[in-house]
Amino acid sequence: MSKIQADCPICHSNSSEYHSIIAPWITELANLPLTPSKYFSCNNCSYSWFSRFSDNLVHSLYSKYRSESYYAVRHSWEPWFSKNDNKAFDETSSIKASNSVSGRKRDIEAIFDLSGLSLKQINGCLDFGGDSGQFIPNDIKGVKYVVDQQIASSYNVDSITYVSDIEVIEKKSLGLIMCCMVLEHVNDVNETIRDLVKLLSINGFLYIEVPMDSFRVSKFHQTWFYEKYLNFLSDHGYLFQLLDFATGVWRLSFKSIPFWGVLKQSEHINYFNYPTIQALLEKFGFISICKIENPKSRQGKLRFGKIQLLGEFRN
Tens digit of pLDDT for each residue in 252-286? 999 999 999 999 999 999 999 999 999 999 999 99
E strand spans, the chain: 15-22, 36-42, 48-50, 123-127, 141-147, 161-163, 174-180, 200-211, 264-265, 270-271, 286-294, 306-313
pTM for the complete prediction? 0.88
Per-domain boundaries in the chain = 15-89+216-270, 98-213+274-313
At 12-21, the pLDDT tens digits run 999 999 999 9
pLDDT at 159: 79
pLDDT (0 to 100) of residue 263: 98
Instruction: Fold for 98-213+274-313, please state it.
Output: Rossmann fold (3.40.50)
Residues comprising the chain, all counted: 315
Residue 81: pLDDT above 50? yes
